[in-house]
A and B are shown apart, each in its own frame.
Chain A
């Protein structure tokens, strides 16, 4: 079955760290750009970060630059998001998403179920 399964969410104090994982199956993981997209409670969708197939290019939304790091392990069919210096405003469901198509004209065509990150003291 083609799927993405996130894990690693939870409750963390402000200033703390958390590492999210996303396990991919049913498709050739190494052939796709991958992304993290988040959704704060009751709010809309916000793209967080992208990573190229071989990990050589990474892009971030301004609000997480210098704090979050996206990475991947193609041998393990896994995507990661290391989140440091967490803030209350990082509280959200974090989705792993597959990116299909060229950079311009791409689309998020496969999503995981998401993992909830709560930043609170």
Chain B
């Protein structure tokens, strides 16, 4: 199985900050990498698919990049509604596997 890691595991930031989260795969997954946002008590929500494609309805302040084993999710200007936990997920092979998550909270 492909192992996914994320860094940092948590971060504190202020509204308006630029935030970057890193995801690494244990082997090359091409661009088969998705990002999800999850708020407490809620279901995950797809933000980015295929490493850099923005899901319909997701604000343009979210962006993704990377290929192979290293990927990043960037929030260009953090908004109050962005405080949540973010997960990466590889869809290169079965089983699909998720990273452990990065919790973004208020500084």
Partners in one complex: yes
Q: From residue A9, how far is it (CB to closest CB) to chain B in Å?
A: 14
B43–A105 touching, CB < 8 Å:
no
B46–A109 touching, CB < 8 Å:
yes
Find residues 15-45 in chain B having any chain A CB closer than 8 Å to their own CB: 32, 34, 36, 38, 42-45
Q: What residues of chain B lie closer than 8 Å to A111, measured between beta carbons? A: 43-45
Nearest B residue (CB) for A95: B43
Q: From residue B88, how far is it (CB to closest CB) to chain A in Å?
A: 10
Find residues 40-67 in chain B having any chain A CB closer than 8 Å to their own CB: 42-46, 49-50, 55
Q: From residue B63, how far is it (CB to closest CB) to chain A in Å?
A: 16
Q: How far is the CA of A106 from the CA of B34 in the complex (A)?
A: 9
What DSSP secondary structure best describes chain B's contact surface? loop
B87–A44 touching, CB < 8 Å:
yes
Q: What residues of chain A lie closer than 8 Å to B97, measured between beta carbons? A: 47
Q: What residues of chain A lie closer than 8 Å to B42, measured between beta carbons? A: 113
B12 within 8 Å of A (CB atoms) = no
Residue tally, chain A, CB below 8 Å to B: 22
A61 within 8 Å of B (CB atoms) = yes
Decide yes or no: A44 and B91 within 8 Å by CB, A108-B34, A108-B46 being known contacts: no
Nearest A residue (CB) for B46: A109
- Most chain A beta carbons < 10 A, residue from B46, B96, B97: B96
Q: From residue A100, how far is it (CB to closest CB) to chain B in Å?
A: 8
Decide yes or no: A47 and B93 within 8 Å by CB, A95-B43, A105-B32, A111-B44 being known contacts: no
Decide yes or no: A103 and B98 within 8 Å by CB, A44-B87, A109-B46, A113-B43 being known contacts: no
Q: What residues of chain B lie closer than 8 Å to A95, measured between beta carbons? A: 43-44
Q: What residues of chain A lie closer than 8 Å to B80, measured between beta carbons? A: none
In the complex, 5 of the A-B residue pairs with CB atoms within 8 angstroms, ordered by the A residue number, are A44-B87, A47-B98, A101-B91, A111-B43, A111-B44
Q: What 3 A-B pairs come out closest when comparing CB atoms?
A: A111-B43, A107-B49, A45-B98
Residues in B lying within 8 Å of A, measured CB to CB:
32, 34, 36, 38, 42-46, 49-50, 55, 87, 89, 91-101
